[in-house]
Structure 1
Amino acid sequence: MIVAGVGFSSGAAAAEIVALVRRAESLAGHAAEILAAPDFKEDAACLREAVQTLGLPLRLVDRAALAAAQENCPTQSEVAAQVVGLGSVAEACALAGAGEKSHLLVARLTQGNVTCALAGDLP
């Protein structure tokens, strides 16, 4: 299973999320099967619109799972750590969403107001 994990600021647009997920898929050579996002962004209109555009199921990741995944996230953001208390959001969402045996296929990409990473249980 391949999971695209995303993080985004309040100024993000759905088109930004979609474009960055597509870029990550292109770099990985694999399509995402699930979009994972932090549960504290559940009500964001841009997330719901992106899910609809991408045609992917949404997996919301809770703070405890995001925190547990931090040790496996090579990219840490001081800004994210200050704003949400976690140094990695996109990578943590991807890893937590893809399960215990997953690894990063594409480390965090950043474009505009969005970050994205891909994780999966591929060899």
Structure 2
Amino acid sequence: MKTKNLMIMLITLIVEVIITYYIASFFSVRLIEVMFFTGIFFAGTIYYFSSGGGAISRLFNAQVSGQTGLIQQNERFTVKVGPVFWASVVFFLVGLVFFILLIMEVIPPQDM
């Protein structure tokens, strides 16, 4: 893997950890308790915005065709995944492992 991609992945992971830390501190829970959910959100959002030609694009094309009477060429569904998406997937998977350990009570609940 290129050094540039590794740096982008590292920066993405740091930003995601910082955002998750602030969310966890806002709700007064541990970071590992919300990692799974923020990981789903980050990965899903990045996947949605890095793809093209899906159902939303077809909907907009149909609306424009209905309003103008011009038939538009549909774009094939493509996803351009890069280091930011893969960093979010890694963050999600680490959060999933912690979530499973919390559910199985391997990691004890937080003392108040």
The TM-score, its normalising length taken from structure 1, stands at 0.28
Higher helix proportion, which one?
A: 2
TM-score, structure 2 as length reference: 0.30
Structure richer in strand, relative to its length: 1
